[in-house]
Structure 1
């Protein structure tokens, strides 16, 4: 992380996580990367069951704002993004369109993510798979 931030002269880091502010990476970042003296902004994927995406606005110094839109690309796995016949694909694209139209920050970053597993919600399923 430190090498990448230095190579690209990063001025800030955005950590997109299911854990949000409780993410150990966020909590230990300054300890793990002491020479990386840049602000860390952490977003947390919402528990919005409908599409599993999130939209968050982060206030930056000098009164500026950054809109971050996270798109759960797991629902698109195995599909061609230009032709999404399923209802879930249509729902996702409609949500993304609405989210983009609603942004009013100085900048907007759209991040695609593919969550592995949320242990709290799938603990019983994980135990069953181990047997």
Structure 2
């Protein structure tokens, strides 16, 4: 057909919106990282898993993936984090398990944002 436009199959971003694709990718990354042996988790893993989970949770407004929360609790309880990292973990777990993650206190948001940024994971959705 000469004058008709070429068929283009729909993309995930076109069907679900780019924000939903970002959330899906973050959840997949969290599941992959958290699937590793939990006995070998480090405080670096907390940021690697927690920061994308926080971004996805804030973007979607829903409670985070249970695997991410469980992993952060494992790091907090078994990996002997520093005092500052433990504060970050507590704030991150509270946000991720909240029914209203966008209503997190300014102080907790600031702590979470700073922790993620300092560890190479600047947040896109938590302000």
Question: Which TM bucket (shorter chain)?
Answer: under 0.3
Relative contact order, CA 8 A, sep 6+: which one is greater?
2
| Greater helix share, structure number | 2
TM-score for the superposition, normalised by structure 2: 0.27
TM-score for the superposition, normalised by structure 1: 0.27
